[in-house]
């Protein structure tokens, strides 16, 4: 059994926030920048017909689906939501992708 590494959620979120414009283009490719600070897209977790009600603040990482009430406060929670995985799994995924070492 392998030991689980400690995750520094704050460091991972800071690193991911710096890359958020690139990440949302990868995770929510049909979206667009709205008002210079938000990424508006279709929610990939439901049969959303057009972009707009699912938004990610590109400065803070906060996100919400205004049609369903689903929301989160950071990039890790966004990654978890979009991928349908736990926050711990999302943090590990982001840390590996961004080259952020263990805390």
CATH code of residue 25: 3.90.580.10
Which domain covers residue 23, as residue numbers? 18-96
Measured distance CA(16)–CA(20) in Å, rounded: 6
The mean predicted confidence, pLDDT, of the chain is 90
Measured distance CA(51)–CA(11) in Å, rounded: 30
In angstroms, the Cα distances linking 76 to 32, 40, 51, 67, 83 are 21, 18, 22, 21, 11
Q: Is residue 46 part of a domain?
A: yes
Question: For the chain, what is the domain count?
Answer: 1
Query: Tokens 């406060």 label which residue?
Result: 73
User: Sorting pLDDT into bands at 50, 70 and 90, what band is 6?
Assistant: confident
For residues 48 and 11, the model is more confident at 11
Residue 4: the pLDDT is 55
pTM: predicted TM-score of the whole model, two decimal places: 0.88
Q: Is residue 2 part of a domain?
A: no
Q: Is residue 12 part of a domain?
A: no
Instruction: Evaluate if residue 2 carries a pLDDT over 50.
Output: no
Q: Is residue 45 part of a domain?
A: yes
Q: Is residue 101 part of a domain?
A: no
Q: Is residue 39 part of a domain?
A: yes
Q: Is residue 102 part of a domain?
A: no
């Amino acid at each position: 059994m392998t030991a689980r590494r400690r995750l520094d959620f704050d460091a991972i979120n800071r690193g991911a926030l710096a890359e958020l414009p690139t990440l949302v283009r990868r995770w929510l490719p049909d979206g667009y920048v709205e008002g210079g600070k938000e990424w508006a897209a279709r929610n990939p977790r439901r049969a959303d017909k057009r972009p707009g009600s699912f938004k990610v603040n590109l400065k803070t990482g906060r996100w919400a689906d205004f049609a369903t009430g689903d929301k989160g406060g950071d990039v890790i929670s966004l990654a978890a939501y979009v991928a349908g995985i736990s926050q711990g799994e999302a943090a590990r995924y982001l840390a590996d992708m961004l080259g952020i070492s263990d805390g």
